[in-house]
Structure 1
């Protein structure tokens, strides 16, 4: 059945549903928009984010990739695609995407923070600490990732003083949001 709405209209209606917490209807509209020949890139991005928040990383990845074909300069989407890779254990692929982000925006807070998290997870505590210190130097103090960087560095320092393995706990769910 063909929709009476075009892709742009479906995107606006989906956003309204999602703002009201009506995820099922919003997702349905985004999927309809993605199936149209005139799908706005923003609909693919929104669909990717919904899939990511639902934990459907493969579907999210395919929508992020389709979106980035149209908008390769979008650092938020590139970062978020990297998060889908990171959460699937594809650290090298995530790091490559985050490096691309940092080439475009050298002080992009989420990429600075998660590069440090990846280094810590790979047992590179010294590198992770250096990255976190750099992040603290360049990220504004009122930014979520300043707080996360500060807290992770403090946690790593406390673990080192106690002679324990370095903790690397993250809350990746917020990584798909673009408010920094």
Structure 2
């Protein structure tokens, strides 16, 4: 299974780095090692290729991965209004090490310590999600209907997006429903 970037926000993409999102024995961990973290971070736009080179020269790989996984554990909690003090402390530490630099279309944290850059930017992204995102648009791909449970922001005009991706979960669910209808129809004709 390839990791799809479907959250619509870096903090949600962080939450979606384990599948299915429900705890279980058959989970796929997409951030399984520091190399996976380095490959994933530019995909969600939290760092650039040049940033990755700076990070690699100065980071402690296992500590950085542990930091990011700790931040991931905070996503659902903070969305539920819990552990905000823990996020606040982590975000304050990021602000102490960082400065803002103008970028397009928003400002970006420029970490003065590249060893913490990925985690600091993710902490800032999680705070940004809580402060600026319209959380009434937050959805989870419905696991009870064959979805993966990934979180995403529904930016559809009429707020009817159900699946993280129609190319994956949505298409599979439609295919299962069609197969079931055919199976039921086939059973009636015999």
Query: TM over 0.5, yes or no?
Result: no
Task: Select the structure with the greater relative contact order (CA < 8 A; seq sep ≥ 6).
Answer: 2
Tell me which protein shows more strand as a share of its residues.
2
TM-score normalized by structure 1? 0.29
Give 1 or 2: higher helix fraction.
1
